[in-house]
Amino acid sequence: MALFGNAHTVSPQSAQQDYARLLGHGEQVHAAFLLIRDTILFTDRRLILIDKQGITGKKVEYHSVPYRSITHFAVETAGTFDLDAELKIWISGTPAPIEKTFTKGVDIYEVQAILTQFVAR
């Protein structure tokens, strides 16, 4: 499904190893999703959006969003004809949400639970 631009689950342990250089001391990856070349990490401290750019993907932009900056979020579950679930996250000071699409195989309720756990602190 990655060919269609939809996220799928990545092992948190694998993401922990692959992105160890991005993580602070003791920071743990709780969930990770791959979207073609981009990656979304949910750690115990922040949301990390990894955006590989260009044809080769050698240029990479890393967005670190502390959970305290998230003002609200929404999830849209997959339907009968629309097989994708969507996540929208609004960051304080930014009118447009960050939008990510997940395949039906990803439990969007798990994504919501992770965000709720960290945003509601």
Residue 76 burial by Cβ neighbours in a 10 Å radius (0-12, 13-18, 19+)? middle
Distance (Å, rounded) from C-alpha 118 to C-alpha 53?
A: 29
Q: Which residue has the higher pLDDT, 76 or 4?
A: 76
Better-predicted residue by pLDDT, 66 or 54 = 66
At 80, the pLDDT band (50, 70, 90 cuts) reads low
| 105 secondary structure, DSSP code | T
Predicted confidence at residue 56, as pLDDT, reads 77
Average pLDDT, whole number, for the chain? 86
C-alpha 46/C-alpha 64 separation (Å) is: 7
Query: Would you put residue 110 in left (φ > 0), alpha (ψ -120 to 50) or beta?
Result: alpha
Residue 72 has pLDDT above 70, yes or no: yes
Which of 25-34, 38-47, 53-62, 86-95 is least confident? 53-62
Query: Rounded CA gap, 121 and 22, in Å?
Result: 23
Q: Which of 103, 114, 106 is nearest to 70 (CA)?
A: 114
